[in-house]
């Protein structure tokens, strides 16, 4: 099981990085969207 998890993480490393970047951008858009009414 441990070796299976290692191999999955090794094969999908670039995809996980892309998913993390997408998650960060969504969080930033959410925060900006929630604070936008108070800025205008």
Q: In this predicted model, what pLDDT tens digit does every residue of 1-40 receive, in sequence order? A: 889 988 988 999 999 999 999 999 999 999 999 999 887 7
Tokens 């998650």 map to which residue?
Answer: 23
Q: How confident is the model at residue 22, as a pLDDT?
A: 97
Q: How confident is the model at residue 9, as a pLDDT?
A: 85
Q: How confident is the model at residue 18, as a pLDDT?
A: 96
Distance CA 6, CA 12 (A): 10
Stated as kind and residue range, the H or E segment containing 33 is helix 13-39
Distance CA 19, CA 30 (A): 16
Residues 17 and 24 sit within 8 Å (Cβ to Cβ): no
Domain with 15 in it: 2-39
What predicted TM-score, i.e. pTM, was given to this entire model? 0.70
**Alpha carbon separation from 24 to 3, 17, 31, 36 (Å, rounded):** 29, 11, 11, 18
Q: How confident is the model at residue 14, as a pLDDT?
A: 93
Domain count across the chain: 1
């Amino acid at each position: 099981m441990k070796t299976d998890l290692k191999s999955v993480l090794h094969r999908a490393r670039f995809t996980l990085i892309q998913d993390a970047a997408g998650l960060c951008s969504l969080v930033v858009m959410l925060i900006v969207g929630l604070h936008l009414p108070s800025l205008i």
